[in-house]
Structure 1
Amino acid sequence: MRFSPVASLGLLAQSTHALLRFSCSQLVVERLDPLVNPGSDQSPHLHQIIGGNAFNISMDPNISPSDTATCTTCTFAEDFSNYWTAVMFFKAKNGTFKRVPIKGNVNFEQASGGMTVYYTPTIANGPPKEKITAFKKGFRMIIGNPTYRTEAQAKQFRQLTYTCLKDPMTRSGETLTFPKTACAAGIMVNVRFPTCWDGVNLDSPDHMSHVAYPSSGTFETNGPCPSTHPVKVPQLFYEVVWDTAKFNNKADWPTDGSQPFVWSFGDQTGYGNHGDYVFGWKGDALQKAMDTNCNINCPQLKSQTIAAGNQCQQQQKVTENIDGWLTELPGGMMVTPMKKERAFSA
């Protein structure tokens, strides 16, 4: 299944009223999840986290990360939000696992891994026709579902995809599944969050129901928000570049020729792709950026160098071995196969 590619970076920058594109280096890699498993000193599967160093076992929604963080890995220095995804592993022919590192994206090659983060208020020439409301203190959300193993399930989220990088600038050929062939410059995982909010709830029990995708089309086609979620919010978008090239020797791949990568939650299909977000911008900085004609750079916001962001790091709260060749995924997560499509009901 192939998805229509998102507009190239150059076209996107030209056609949007404002576009923040910035780097956030790696903060920590560990089994914590303050949204799904708050209070648990280890979540079931491993995550890679970027952003402010207030990330913790639990994160009180009444306390902004910007009030407690002392540094951030992001180049916009007023952004103490936390952004995280699962971790990709290579599964060797002998059944052992090796963590795949992440690397800096185009123009952010000096970052210590991390992600590229986008906040885009609208896809249109000229200023937005309606106000774009920045996320509020206490806002958090998740998109995707780690238990999903079928294409029908994955399609519910529309824009959680993979790009097989022929070179660092590849931005076409997105798929819902892990790429089936070796990717010369790595695999880019794309996580696009919904752009419509109910205007009331900063969170919901499933961390998703308070937001929605446009009622028709996608954000890139200017689809309208549904009546249940009438408030337009920026499109939050992660690009995560996994350095899979070092695992491209087909002699190490499964004997049946299938692709060898698996998520830390045991998914070898790619359909369980998901991302998490806790808002933590200082004051009204994000709203200011959305109201101003910022185009990638934003002089209205305070910035720091990538080198400064690289210095912001956390130690694992509970130390465990996540490097070297492992006999099982961290937390003992089992690798689960693809499900038959008929097993899914909406």
Structure 2
Amino acid sequence: MHWNSIATALALSASGADALLRFSCSQLVLDRLDPLVNPGSAPAPHLHQIVGGNAFNITMDPAKPPPTQATCTTCTFADDFSNYWTAVLYFQAKNGSYKRVPLKPNSGFEQAMGGMTIYYTPYIGTKQSVTAFKPGFRMLIGQQGYRTKEEAQRFRQLTYTCLQTIMTRTGETLDMPKSPCPAGIMTNVRFPTCWDGKNLDSPDHTSHVAYPSSGTFENNGPCPATHPVKIPQLFYEVIWDTTKFNDKSLWPASGQPFVWSQGDATGFGNHGDYVFGWKDDALQKAMDTNCNINCPALKTQSIAVGNKCANKARVHEDIDGWLTELPGFSSGDHKEGMRIRK
């Protein structure tokens, strides 16, 4: 796999890391499914954008790991059949109608069909060993119902970047940008980096993992005694092409017009989900060999091949026209924190 110098510089400046994987995963499907939070529900309450292996389904049995079920992946590391997903961003116009915001490829991955950029970082600065995720492992970060800064600060590494150019990597905020962003809005989804060493999941899909007990992963903060096992920092960069909505005459008088698909116009409900699905010990090999962008220890495929891997949506509904309600919502069905604009 070959990465241009711009992408390499971007990855290193974005993370400050001495070792990491950075790769593209094209869009697999946009669908109202969530096998982690709402297994068995079709439809789930709100729309998601999903990347990774095509074993993604209404229900995903932890006893049947994705590599044993998938036949392809949208990711450039061909042994990665994991699934990564987030909510979907919508623009709400002055008249109250909604339009889905398309995804935009990241620098170095211009041929990708939307999707997201995935990072796995084993360490920052000081070389150390990390334990790769195990078959059946899954987790989420963030809470879809959060609507205040105080709530969002629990997940201090869920942020937004108002892109001045595709290379912008400064000025992260916990809430949605309030002004038009010249190159789009990037959501940054960084997962906890400490594991209890026992549970592959937990009832809230969060309690089995934790942040460092002091400091952060980036400054080598120690893991708490309750979660002593260091795991890689999993990090999503998702770029939303908000540029076609930058005409402020279309914006509501109340200001910021972007709304997550679960009905959050504050941005504090930013969240991401993960189901591990690397084949065999491929991820552990990559972490042990301290791959830096390129990883000769891993099998790769072209972005064009990844683009061909796709699932058909299970929930049949209009998600792309000008909508009077978000998918999954109906009149009077808005949750607290949903902005109703007239």
Question: Which TM-score band applies after superposition, normalised by the shorter structure?
Answer: over 0.9
Partner amino acid for 2:334? M
Q: What residue in structure 1 maps to residue 180 of structure 2? A: 182
Q: How far did residue 115 of structure 1 move?
A: 0.2
Structure 1: any 5+ residue segments left out of the alignment?
Answer: 1-6, 340-346
Q: What residue in structure 2 maps to residue 139 of structure 1? A: 137
Q: What residue in structure 2 maps to residue 162 of structure 1? A: 160
Q: Secondary structure at the match of 1:146?
A: coil
The answer as to 2:103 corresponding to 1:105 is no
CA deviation map 1:163-215 (0-9, x unaligned): 00000000000000000000000000000000000000000000000000001
CA contact (8 A) 2:94 2:251 kept: yes
Q: What residue in structure 1 maps to residue 33 of structure 2? A: 32
Q: What residue in structure 2 maps to residue 312 of structure 1? A: 309
Whole-Å separation in 2 of the counterparts to 1:13 and 1:165: 17
Q: How far did residue 324 of structure 1 move?
A: 1.1
The answer as to 2:261 corresponding to 1:261 is no
CA contact (8 A) 1:29 1:46 kept: yes
Backbone CA RMSD of aligned residues: 1.5
Q: How far did residue 63 of structure 1 move?
A: 0.9
Q: Secondary structure at the match of 2:213?
A: coil
Q: What residue in structure 2 maps to residue 70 of structure 1? A: 71
Would you say how many aligned residue pairs link Structure 1 and Structure 2? 328
CA contact (8 A) 2:27 2:114 kept: yes
Partner amino acid for 1:268? A
Partner amino acid for 1:118? Y
The answer as to 2:96 corresponding to 1:95 is yes
Whole-Å separation in 2 of the counterparts to 1:10 and 1:143: 24
Equivalent positions of 1:294-309 (< 5 A) are 294-309=291-306
Q: What residue in structure 2 maps to residue 322 of structure 1? A: 319
Partner amino acid for 2:100? R
Whole-Å separation in 2 of the counterparts to 1:309 and 1:85: 19
Q: How far did residue 11 of structure 1 move?
A: 3.7
CA deviation map 1:30-81 (0-9, x unaligned): 1000011101111000000000000000000011101110000000000000
Equivalent positions of 1:209-220 (< 5 A) are 209-220=207-218
Q: How far did residue 13 of structure 1 move?
A: 6.6
Match of 2:197 among 178, 196, 199: 199
Q: How far did residue 124 of structure 1 move?
A: 1.2
CA contact (8 A) 1:139 1:278 kept: yes
Whole-Å separation in 1 of the counterparts to 2:317 and 2:294: 38
Identical amino acids, percent of aligned pairs = 70
Q: How far did residue 318 of structure 1 move?
A: 2.0
Q: What residue in structure 2 maps to residue 246 of structure 1? A: 244
Whole-Å separation in 2 of the counterparts to 1:29 and 1:259: 24
Whole-Å separation in 2 of the counterparts to 1:30 and 1:15: 34
The answer as to 2:273 corresponding to 1:276 is yes
CA contact (8 A) 1:13 1:296 kept: no
Structure 2: any 5+ residue segments left out of the alignment?
Answer: 1-8
Partner amino acid for 2:102? P
User: Residue 336 and residue 250 in structure 1: after superposition, are their counterparts in 2 closer, same or farther (change >3 A)?
Assistant: farther
Whole-Å separation in 2 of the counterparts to 1:145 and 1:14: 27
CA deviation map 1:103-147 (0-9, x unaligned): 11010111000000000011014x32xx20000000000110011
